[in-house]
Structure 1
């Protein structure tokens, strides 16, 4: 056997993504380079590690055992590297986050300086829907998650980061005027575009609809804030959207806020983690950083929000 750590990492990444193309993207390598590494690794075993059925790549039962062993080896290598960095007085280790899709507009600003000051910290951040974020918390796959409405059924610790304002929004051809506030009942006359069930934005909007006893027409249901934004821009309807994701469109006058009495709707972005979670040194350092720096970050990067 003459396999390398690089080959182990490539094989584990292929197994995680079940695709050479996706593994190449994750590793920042070309597809041919990943294919060659897999071929060289496979040549050291008499039993197949992978198989292709149709166009889908699968890991064989033997391959799954090799994946597990490879991951254990890579984890031990990480421990060695972390010990060396920490011996030199630096923070080291992996920092794993899951972030709901609209959280991608704010989380990078709470990470940039921390990662710059702690080059030994390796970030893995998954931007996904709320259901996947909650699942990653339950399965202990991440250190922290960013949500606007924490799941009540989980025992969580949390730090409030910043307000999340939601406004009724239309494109620049919307016939609704913007000089004075509309009544709540105006919402009943609109074809509204919604996020998918379970998203924090959807929960906030539906809670308001129920409180005001409104009868709403759901024009479309889409699975990301970007998809909703593009639908509104195209003139398919109006939507109640987080302000954080439409700054550029407002500045360019491609979208406009329709004033409605009782708006904006508000929730709060929360950094959450499981109460029983044993935080790593890198996770503890990040938590301390957020607690110390959040106010200055919000003032510097998100001061524009107070204008709305």
Structure 2
């Protein structure tokens, strides 16, 4: 591969093409016309001296040279981005972009922690993307964010994950449920109740299922719902009981709309992690935010959390838990 007269604009354009494999998507992302994109790719191929893309039917593929160049583009542009943010940080403290992504359940605590951080660093420009587990993993794989907040970690040796916050799961019921106020309710008794469950693939559902299975039990599933919000509404409507993260329940507990049952083996404590690709060089701003999460995140969050139930907490595996 011979690189002659390659510009940063061409590198940005080819990174976009390698990501989307679509001239149309590249044109939309970079605010160019599709012919302009095609011309720039042709010029880049002339500079390199070999084909970078090939068309098969309606699908576009990178050649072997194209894949190597795509990896180099990602590396060069990421290093330049970090350098630019570090220069800004050295010039005027912690400031500039901070791109974060988090799974849906994290929406209950990440805005609070980010707000505390921004009080100390008001010149930081945050962007917080809240989305589902599959999309978060996609963003992580494509290195679209400085940090990703998640719980259940994929089997991927190419990640660095640092635990920063517990995620206690509790059994919840409507406030007029006959089990409210009872102490150390047997797990077998809970298994008899109508259970409102998250959909398959949910980390909360997986943790509850493992605990029940360890004791030879299974939940009496009455209904499956696709979000914690839907489950809270169903619990408040008296349709059954469920297991939810205590992080989700602050307003409902304070207003008396939901009650936490005192059940043996609960709270079941899982963990939250700040994750990025291994070898990724964090910007000065991202590094400062990660340090804040690791050193102060749990303390600040405890200040706004409802009181934990008195039953001894049961901890999950720190390497494969939380979220969902």
Return the TM-score normalized by structure 2: 0.66
Separation in structure 2 between the aligned mates of residue 135 and residue 224 of structure 1, nearest angstrom: 20
In structure 2, relative to structure 1, the CA distance for the partners of 1:64 and 1:79 (3 Å cut) is: same
Judge conservation of contact 1:159–1:270 (CA < 8 Å) in 2: yes
Find the aligned partners of 1:189 and 1:296 in 2 and give their Cα distance.
37
Instruction: Confirm or deny that 1:67 pairs with 2:28.
Output: yes
- How big is the shift at 1:170? 0.9
> Match for residue 139 of structure 1?
142
Normalised by the length of structure 1, the TM-score is: 0.69
Q: Would the alpha carbon gap of residues 128 and 220 (structure 1) be closer, same or farther in structure 2, given more than 3 Å must change?
A: farther
| Distance in 1 separating the partners of 2:129 and 2:152 | 18
Once the 2 structures are TM-superposed, how far is the Cα of residue 162 of structure 1 from its aligned partner? 2.1
CA contact (8 A) 1:181 1:260 kept: yes
CA distance in 2, matches of 1:240, 1:124: 30
- 1:1-308 superposed matches below 5 A: 64-70=25-31, 85-86=88-89, 88-302=91-305, 304-306=306-308, 308=310
Q: Residues of 1 paired with 2:26 and 2:135: CA distance?
A: 26
Question: Once the two structures are superposed, what CA deviation does each residue of 1:97-121 show, in whole Å capped at 9, x if it has no partner?
Answer: 2212221121122211322333442
Residues 1:166 and 1:126: Cα distance change in structure 2 (over 3 Å): same
The separation in 2 between residues aligned to 1:137 and 1:265, in whole angstroms, is 27
Please tell me the root mean square deviation across aligned C-alpha atoms, in Å: 3.0
Q: CA deviation at 1:150?
A: 2.2
Query: Within 2, Cα distance between the matches of 1:271 and 1:208?
Result: 25
Q: State the distance in 2 between where 1:180 and 1:254 align.
A: 20
- Change in Cα spacing, 1:172 to 1:298, as seen in structure 2 (3 Å) is closer
- Partner SS, residue 209 of structure 1: helix
CA contact (8 A) 1:169 1:255 kept: yes
Structure 1 counterpart SS, 2:100: strand
Q: Which runs of 5+ in 2 are unaligned?
A: 1-21, 38-76, 311-324
Q: Is the 8 A contact 2:159 2:276 kept in 1?
A: yes
- Number of residue equivalences: 244
SS of residue in 2 equivalent to 1:111: helix
SS at match of 1:301: coil
Inter-partner Cα distance in structure 1 for 2:296 and 2:112: 11
Structure 1, unpaired ranges of 5+: 1-60
TM-fit CA distance, 1:233: 0.8
8 Å contact from structure 1 (residues 191, 218) kept in 2:
yes
Offset of residue 65 of structure 1: 4.4
Contact between 1:82 and 1:120, CA under 8 Å: does it hold in 2? no
Deviations 1:191-224 (Å, cap 9, x if unpaired)? 2111222222122112212212212222222222
